Amino acid sequence: MNQSQDSKSRPRVGIASLGAAVGGLAMALVLTQCVPAAKAQTPSSERIVAAGGAVTEILYALGLQDRIVGVDTTSLFPASALKDKPNVGYVRALSAEGVLSLRPTLVVTIPNAGPPDTLKLISEAGVRIVQTPDDQSAAGVIAKVREVGRLTGAKPEADKLAAAIQTRFDALAKARTALDKPKRVLFVLALQNGRPMVGGQNSAADAIIKLAGGINAANAIEGYKPMTDEAVIAAAPDVVLMMNRGDPATPTPDVFALPAFSATPAAASRTLIVMDGLYLLGFGPRAADAAHDLMKALYPEKAAQLSVLPRP
């Protein structure tokens, strides 16, 4: 472009300099791309991308964390996972080139990872993609552990872990029989604008409440839905259950100050239980512990009998 500098040519000069700036920036990016990846090589041949919090948790529990080359944003436990490993984004919005840039040999995902075109491209690049079963039950957790173990060639470790988890679920089932008067639990996912979003049937919250020997007070609802104030009163929960994101310092809103909740039995006894979200709802290897912790919190009078769960 020539150098005509009257006021009229300003927009074009603007475009030119913008182009130059974009070009320069892009060049800089190219140069940084040429520097070899900073992440250290793992000794094992298998390079795994874990897409899904439960998958990551199981891999860590199996001691395979060194083989993980990338995790997704839902991999919140252990906390070191997202700190040490590159983040490939949300499990349902993966990037084909992003995942391939980690040079994985295996991508283990929870069901419904995606988008489908991305998974197709990744598998076309010769990377094995396996989806694990994801039943929100004791059997589901065991199956998930065994599947991950089978995929990673860590069958003995997985069998051992699965057995330990099974023992704990068995103990949990036994503890449930000892409960005489089950409590009604209302899981509140969020309190946007004072309107509660609760966990109904077929939600992970429902499953964990049942495992912990409670009754889901929001039985009439399917999935996670907003609940009206009157429905909250009608549900008559003995306990309100909420979650935080692994940070105990996060202040929980004072639910019992809300009119709907103030009329519930839970308000009378001021029983609010707050637990870590992934721990509570993730249905990973710690699901039995989470259910057990919840049980202890629900039935403090039986805490003494419940305090011990077999350790692996």
Partner 1 sequence: MTAVSSIDMDGLDSFVSRRRHEALQVTLGLAFAAIGLAVLSLGIGAVPIPPENVLKVLVAQAMSDGQILQGRDALVILNIRLPRLMLGFMVGAALAVSGALMQGLFRNPLADPGLVGVSAGAGLAAAVMIVLGERYLSGLIGKMPFAALPLAAFLGGLVSTLLLYAIATREGRTSISTMLLAGVALGALAGAATGLLAYISDDRQLRDLTFWSLGSLGGATWTKVTAIAPIILPLLLAVPLLARGMNALALGEAEAFHLGLPVQRIKGLAILLVALAVGASVASAGVIGFVGIVVPHLLRLVVGPDHRLLLPLSALAGGALLIGADMIARLAVAPAELPIGIITAATGAPFFLWLLLRRSQGFEP
By CB under 8 A, name the binding residues for partner 1.
Answer: 1-2, 6-9, 11-12, 15-16, 19, 22-23, 26-27, 29-30, 33-37, 70, 73, 86-90, 92-103, 112, 114-118, 120-121, 124-126, 223-225
User: In the complex, what is the shortest distance from the CB of residue 19 to partner 1, in angstroms, rounded to a whole number?
Assistant: 5
User: In the complex, what is the shortest distance from the CB of residue 32 to partner 1, in angstroms, rounded to a whole number?
Assistant: 9
- How many CA atoms lie within 13 Å of 83's alpha carbon, on the beta-carbon side? 4
Nearer to partner 1, 56 or 271 (CB): 56
How far apart, in whole angstroms, are the C-alpha atoms of residue 257 and residue 255?
A: 5
User: In the complex, what is the shortest distance from the CB of residue 86 to partner 1, in angstroms, rounded to a whole number?
Assistant: 5
Residues in the chain: 312
- Cβ atoms < 10 Å from Cβ of 203: 22
C-alpha triplet 118, 121, 122: angle, nearest 5°: 85
Nearer to partner 1, 88 or 290 (CB): 88
User: In the complex, what is the shortest distance from the CB of residue 141 to partner 1, in angstroms, rounded to a whole number?
Assistant: 19
User: In the complex, what is the shortest distance from the CB of residue 83 to partner 1, in angstroms, rounded to a whole number?
Assistant: 15
Which of 21, 302, 46 lies closest to 151, judged by CA?
Answer: 46
Q: Which residues are CB-neighbours of 273 under 8 A, at least 6 positions away?
A: 239, 240, 241, 242, 294, 297, 298
Class of residue 38 by CB neighbours under 10 A (exposed 0-12, middle 13-18, buried 19+): exposed
Nearer to partner 1, 86 or 133 (CB): 86
Nearer to partner 1, 8 or 181 (CB): 8
Nearer to partner 1, 2 or 177 (CB): 2
The strand order across the sheet containing 68-71 reads: 68-71, 48-51, 106-109, 128-131
